[in-house]
């Protein structure tokens, strides 16, 4: 059974139960099913065919989720792009996917940062989405009385893939627009006084809540069934502090990714608060670590390939095994510990940004002579992107000039937080940017 089968089932059995809420709207399972079937018919009239793509912007709304489900209802491929995607990029993806016939069973095409300066389209099957949801249902306490709060952007798997287990358990998805208005986040708990809550929060959000809203978190502690984190490293001290504020909640740190789904999870209520630990393998997944320390993943949650890029697919997916860029090891208890990445991606609050993609855009500025994007420490996000750039002789510009230019050409999370004008960029002996030098 896939997500729509479950929604149909609950629409028949408990039509008045709340399926999705936002600060301004709500919808029951009965209404949700009606919306999905109606939207499915509208999309068909608009020419959305089975195995073809429907490109649309992700928004924190009920309409986005009903459209996403309606695309699957039509056996078409959902291509949700970040809301801030520049129109030029949106049009390019629409053009590239137009009338392309995807392999049967393809459900989603999600774009993620590539290591070659170009975003990669990750193709995911119905089976991958369903088995990933089953991994969550097996290991995390999703129940029918749960309200799962989604605060991150719905095109990102850390948010998008939480819709499935919540609705497959008959629970309620609560979508809010980020944690900017932290008071709106805590209002959700007051709105449903008799419900239990689950949520996914990136480590940066946990740090922010602990630093600025600790008292409010204490007030709602007994209502929280579980919190899952992941997508970026969480510190031992934040794990311990969260556990002390929420002694009765279950707390998980998971390993996941667009290409792999969610594959292992660490219940850090064990009192050890092991930083870098992502726990044991989940129900449908299998993990091995090769002699070089690279984490290899197999199982039905894996993607089926990169869109129109068989070479890149073959470089990471061979004989049903995905070769990650993560290095790690197993401890005696079978827990996996991460040791870092072997590529240059910079993790910004759970989003992995490719420095080459950003540098390529910076280099189109006429006054920039050279540049490099590096990872820098950030007190809330853990790490952020720092751009070092050289200006051509006789030219001047401000950090703001560069930032505004990038804003018009890149998604928001790829815009560097820190800028520095430098006299030179350190190169290797063969003239490449010396990324290792800047990692030290």
Partner 1 sequence: MKQEIRTLLEDSLPLVDFDSDFLFAELDSLGIAQILMSLSLKYNIPLGAKDVTPKNFKNLDALVSLVESKKNK
CB 258 within 8 A of CB 112: yes
- Angstrom distance (rounded) from CA 108 to CA 102: 10
SS3 at position 50: coil
> For partner 1, which residue of 380, 390, 397, 425 counts as binding (CB under 8 A)?
380
Q: Which region among 130-138, 173-181, 296-304, 431-439 touches partner 1 (by CB under 8 A)?
A: 173-181
Q: Do 409 and 416 touch, CB atoms closer than 8 A?
A: no
Q: In 3-state terms, what secondary structure has residue 430?
A: coil
* Range in contact with partner 1 (rule: CB under 8 A) among 18-26, 277-285, 400-408, 430-438: 400-408
Residue 180 C-beta: closest distance to partner 1, Å: 4
Do 258 and 157 form a contact (C-beta atoms < 8 A)?
yes
Q: How far is the CB of 384 from partner 1 (least distance, A)?
A: 8
Separation of alpha carbons 47 and 411, rounded Å = 28
Q: Give me the least distance between CB of 221 and partner 1, in Å please.
A: 16
Q: Are 157 and 150 in contact (CB under 8 A)?
A: no
Stretch that binds partner 1, among 40-48, 113-121, 137-145, 398-406 (CB under 8 A): 398-406
**Token pair listed for 100:** 């392309």
78: which residues sit within 8 A by CB, 6+ positions away? 54, 56, 68, 71, 72, 107, 108, 109
Residue 178 lies near partner 1 (rule: CB under 8 A): yes
* One residue of 21, 79, 179, 368 binding partner 1 per CB under 8 A: 179
Q: Should residue 204 be labelled a site residue for partner 1 when binding is judged by CB under 8 A?
A: yes
CB closer to partner 1 out of 53 and 150: 150
Q: Which is nearer to partner 1, 180 or 432 (CB)?
A: 180
Number of chain positions touching partner 1 (CB under 8 A): 30
DSSP secondary structure of 170-229? T-EEEE-S-SSSHHHHHHHHHH-TT-EEEEE--HHHHHHHHHH-HHHHHHTGGGEEEEEE
Pairing of β 120-125 and β 305-306: antiparallel
Instruction: Give which of 144, 208, 163, 220 is closest to 182, Cα–Cα.
Output: 208
The reply to whether 397 sits near partner 1 by the rule CB under 8 A is no
Contact map string, positions 182 to 201, toward partner 1, x by CB under 8 A: xx------------------
Which of positions 401-440 make contact with partner 1 (CB under 8 A)? 402-404, 407, 412, 415, 417, 419
Least gap, CB of 377 to partner 1 (angstroms) = 14
220 near partner 1, judged by CB under 8 A: no
Of 208 and 274, which CB lies nearer to partner 1 in the complex structure? 208
Among 95, 99, 180, 432, binds partner 1 (CB under 8 A): 180
**Does residue 218 bind partner 1 (CB under 8 A)?**
no
Residue 318: exposure state from Cβ atoms within 10 A (0-12, 13-18, ≥19):
exposed
- Tokens 């919540």, residue located: 166
Burial-class residue 30 by CB neighbours within 10 Å (0-12, 13-18, 19+).
middle
Name the helix (H) or strand (E) containing 11: helix 3-13
**Least distance (Å) between residue 213 CB and partner 1:** 4
Could you say whether residue 328 binds partner 1 (CB under 8 A)?
no
The stretch near partner 1 (CB under 8 A) out of 116-124, 162-170, 175-183, 319-327 is 175-183
Binding partner 1 by CB under 8 A: which of 89, 137, 208, 422?
208
Q: Which stretch binds partner 1 (CB under 8 A): 212-220, 231-239, 267-275, 288-296?
A: 212-220
Considering the complex, state which of residue 13 and residue 420 has its C-beta at the smaller distance from partner 1.
Answer: 420
Q: Is 1 helix (H, G, I), strand (E, B) or coil?
A: coil
Binding residues for partner 1, per CB under 8 A?
178-183, 204-205, 208-209, 211-213, 215-216, 349, 379-381, 398-400, 402-404, 407, 412, 415, 417, 419
């Amino acid at each position: 059974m896939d997500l729509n089968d479950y929604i149909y089932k609950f629409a028949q059995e408990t039509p008045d139960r709340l399926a999705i809420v936002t600060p301004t709207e709500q919808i029951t399972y009965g209404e949700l099913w009606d919306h999905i079937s109606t939207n499915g018919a509208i999309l068909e009239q608009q020419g959305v065919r089975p195995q073809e793509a429907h490109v649309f912007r992700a928004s924190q709304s009920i309409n986005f989720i009903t459209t996403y489900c309606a695309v699957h209802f039509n056996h078409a491929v959902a291509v949700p792009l970040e809301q801030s995607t520049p129109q030029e990029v949106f049009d390019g993806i629409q053009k590239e996917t137009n009338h392309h016939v995807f392999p049967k069973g393809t459900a989603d095409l999600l774009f993620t940062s590539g290591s070659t300066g170009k975003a990669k389209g990750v193709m995911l099957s119905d089976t991958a989405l369903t088995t990933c949801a089953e991994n969550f249902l097996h290991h995390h306490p999703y129940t029918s009385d749960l309200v799962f709060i989604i605060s991150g952007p719905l095109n990102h798997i850390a948010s998008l893939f939480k819709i499935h287990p919540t609705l497959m358990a008959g629970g309620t998805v609560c979508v809010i627009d980020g944690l900017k208005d932290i008071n709106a986040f805590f209002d959700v708990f007051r709105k449903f006084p008799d419900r239990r809550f689950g949520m996914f929060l990136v480590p940066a959000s946990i740090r922010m809540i602990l630093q600025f809203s600790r008292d409010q978190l204490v007030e709602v502690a007994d209502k929280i069934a579980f919190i899952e984190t992941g997508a970026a490293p969480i510190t031992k001290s934040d794990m311990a502090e969260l556990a002390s504020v929420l002694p009765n909640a279950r707390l998980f740190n998971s390993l996941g990714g667009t290409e792999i789904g969610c594959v292992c999870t660490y219940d850090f209520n064990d009192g050890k608060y092991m930083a870098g630990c992502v726990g044991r393998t989940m129900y449908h997944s299998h993990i091995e670590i090769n002699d070089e320390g690279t984490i290899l993943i197999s199982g039905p949650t894996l993607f089926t390939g990169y869109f129109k890029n068989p070479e890149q697919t073959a470089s990471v997916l061979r004989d049903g095994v995905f070769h990650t860029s993560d290095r790690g090891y197993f401890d005696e208890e079978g827990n996996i510990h991460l040791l870092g990445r072997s590529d240059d991606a910079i993790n910004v609050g759970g989003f992995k940004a490719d420095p080459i993609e950003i540098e390529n855009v910076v280099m189109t500025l006429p006054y920039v002579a050279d540049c490099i994007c590096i990872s820098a420490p950030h007190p809330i996000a853990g790490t952020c992107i720092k751009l070092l750039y050289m200006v051509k002789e006789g030219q001047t510009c401000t950090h703001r000039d560069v930032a505004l230019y990038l804003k018009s050409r890149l998604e928001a999370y790829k815009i560097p937080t820190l800028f520095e004008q430098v006299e030179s960029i350190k190169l290797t002996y063969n003239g490449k940017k010396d990324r290792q030098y800047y990692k030290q």
